């Protein structure tokens, strides 16, 4: 490779790093259009950046490096990641809710997106430990909806956790619980980087008659500090179409219903 080519690659990789820092993630398809280069060139760049420990490669792109299992991005940092995927996941997940139900929504940017697709559901009761989820419903009030926000200690992801949150969830029986997760891995299941949030989520999980996990495909292979439940505990998982055939097969072997949200 010539010296000029090396310089071009270095410049491009610095630009990729800047995009990752700004968005939290990048897609190969977007980078090929941005830099007018081939998929193979972009993938080589991502391999090199991953080798240097500057990004983490994921299926179809790369994301900001998560240095350890305790790393917990804030709500605003996560909101821009995989935004289109979250929209399609939320649309599909919303079809699982019918009027008159009592549902639980955990904290997370995907569940906050889902909340917007539930604004027209009649006679809905919502239990949540997410400040952003509660805010979505607060901004569009209706007399036939009840929203109960647990108290608790606030986390970087705007979840309310700890003893007060757990006390609020104890003994509840919810028709459907929608769970956002930090990571999914075949061996350890659904994980979270925050001990208190994981504990609070377990009470939500225990309250669920039907548990629906909502997660984009970049969560696959990410392992947080604490396991909340095995894959088999979920009744349904809704994931975007970026999930590979291998990921889908693994999920289908453990979970009764695997729904793939396709923008088409």
Domain tally for the chain?
Answer: 2
pLDDT in tens, 131-155: 999 999 999 999 999 999 999 999 8
Cβ partners under 8 Å of residue 157, min gap 6? 72, 73, 74, 75, 78, 107, 108, 194, 197
Contacts of 171 (CB under 8 A, 6+ apart): none
Q: β-pairing, 146-149 with 125-128?
A: parallel
- Find the domain containing 22 and state its range: 3-64
Does some domain include residue 119? yes
Co-location of 34 and 15 in the same domain: yes
**Does residue 70 fall inside a structural domain?**
no
Q: What whole-number distance in Å separates Cα of residue 136 and Cα of residue 252?
A: 32
Looking at the fold, whether 28 and 151 belong to one and the same domain comes out as no
Do 53 and 148 belong to one domain? no
146 and 197 part of one domain: yes
- 120 with 186, same domain: the answer is yes
Same domain? 44 vs 137: no
Among 124, 70, 83, CA closest to 218: 83
Q: Strand 61-64 vs strand 55-58: parallel, antiparallel, or unpaired?
A: antiparallel
Q: What is the pTM of this model?
A: 0.74
Q: Check whether residue 93 and residue 59 sit in a common domain.
A: no
Are the CB atoms for 226 and 258 separated by under 8 Å? no
Q: Could you tell me if 197 and 152 lie in one domain?
A: yes
Return the minimum-mean-pLDDT range out of 39-43, 72-76, 82-86, 168-172. 72-76
Same domain, 222 and 154: yes
Which tokens in the block code for residue 113?
């997106």
Q: What is the DSSP letter of 22?
A: H
What H or E segment, with its residue span, contains residue 170? none
Residue 102's pLDDT band, with cuts at 50, 70 and 90, is very high
Task: Indicate which CATH number applies to the domain containing 193.
Answer: 3.40.50.1360
Instruction: Quote the pLDDT of residue 53.
Output: 75
Residue 87 lies in a domain: yes
Last residue of a domain, one of 29, 45, 64: 64
Tell me which of 64, 83, 102 is where a domain ends: 64
| Residue 246 is assigned to a structural domain of this protein | yes
* Claim to verify: residue 17 and residue 146 sit in the same structural domain: no
Q: Answer yes or no: do 50 and 155 share one domain.
A: no
Whether 69 maps to a domain, the answer reads no
Residue 167 within any structural domain of the chain: yes
Looking at the structure, do residues 45 and 159 belong to the same domain, yes or no? no
pLDDT tens-place string over residues 26-65: 889 999 999 999 999 999 999 988 887 778 887 788 877 6
């Amino acid at each position: 490779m010539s010296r000029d080519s090396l310089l071009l690659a270095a410049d491009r990789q610095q630009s990729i790093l800047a995009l990752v820092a700004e968005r939290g993630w990048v897609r190969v398809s977007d980078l090929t259009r941005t830099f007018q280069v081939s998929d193979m060139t972009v993938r080589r760049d991502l391999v090199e950046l991953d080798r240097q420990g500057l990004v983490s490669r994921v299926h179809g792109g790369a994301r900001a490096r998560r240095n350890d299992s305790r790393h917990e991005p804030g709500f605003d940092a996560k909101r821009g990641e995989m935004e289109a995927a979250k929209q399609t996941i939320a649309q599909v997940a919303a079809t699982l809710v019918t009027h008159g139900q009592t549902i639980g929504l955990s904290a997370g940017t995907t569940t906050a997106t889902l909340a917007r697709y539930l604004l027209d559901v009649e006679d809905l009761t919502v239990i949540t430990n997410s400040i952003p989820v509660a805010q979505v419903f607060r901004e569009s009030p209706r007399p036939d909806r009840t929203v109960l926000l647990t108290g608790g200690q606030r986390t970087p992801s705007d979840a309310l956790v700890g003893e007060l949150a757990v006390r609020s969830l104890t003994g509840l029986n919810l028709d459907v619980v929608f769970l956002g997760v930090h990571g999914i891995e075949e061996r350890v299941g659904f994980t979270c980087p925050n001990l208190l949030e994981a504990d609070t989520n377990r009470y939500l999980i225990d309250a669920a008659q039907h548990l629906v996990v909502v997660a984009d495909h970049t969560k696959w292979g990410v392992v947080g500090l604490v396991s909340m439940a095995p894959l088999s505990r979920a009744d349904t998982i809704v994931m975007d179409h970026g999930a590979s055939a291998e990921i889908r097969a693994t999920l289908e072997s453990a979970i009764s219903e695997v729904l793939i949200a396709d923008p088409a």
